[in-house]
Amino acid sequence: MEVIEALRNFMKEREVSSENLSSGSRPLHELVVSVNFIVHDVVAQTHGTSFTPTSEWMIGGSSPVYWGGFTSSIILKVSPDDRDIPVRELTFDGFSPIRAGDYISAKIPRYEEKKFSENLHSKGKTLYFDRDFKEEERAIELAIISDGRVVRTDRAVDYRS
């Protein structure tokens, strides 16, 4: 009988924990923040990629590797308009003609992701929570601003609207 009571208490605590976590989470689109920056330096880089489908993994042998093409990213050294924001470097997965001296707006996904399973049989869900800015951030969208208006927008390869 004690085991059943302990299991009930555990499940009740788990349910309360799930409700507390869910109440603090926010929709992902609310956790994407736009920040304006001056660009000081730009480094563009391209890497070759490869992949092995999981269906072709070989245990104890050599798994086939396929050429995946190229991927490009740029790294920007920046200063934000808001001096209280600590971001000094942005990484952007994609192409952009941004140059040193440009004034830009960057959309930054500022969230912490936590996976949570309500019980032993459920697949689980992903919850998103706000977090502080870091010195190095990833941008999913860059907009070049000239004379107070956006003259070009670039979206990263993993941008989801």
Predicted model pTM: 0.74
- The single-letter DSSP state of residue 29 is G
Asked if residue 58 belongs to a domain, the reply is no
Asked if residue 35 belongs to a domain, the reply is yes
More confident residue, 36 or 47: 36
**Domain region containing 23:** 2-43+70-155
Per-residue exposure over 101-118, b if at least 16 CB sit within 10 Å of its own CB, e if not: ebebbbbbbbbeeeeeeb
Instruction: Give the Cα separation of 158 and 138 in Å (integer).
Output: 11
Asked if residue 54 belongs to a domain, the reply is no
Of 20-24, 97-101, 104-108, 143-147, give the lowest mean pLDDT range.
20-24
Residue 141: exposure state from Cβ atoms within 10 A (0-12, 13-18, ≥19):
buried
Asked if residue 22 belongs to a domain, the reply is yes
Residue 29's pLDDT band (cuts 50, 70, 90): confident
Percent of the chain residues past pLDDT 70, beyond the cut: 83
Asked if residue 151 belongs to a domain, the reply is yes
Res 2: pLDDT: 74
H or E stretch covering 19: helix 2-24
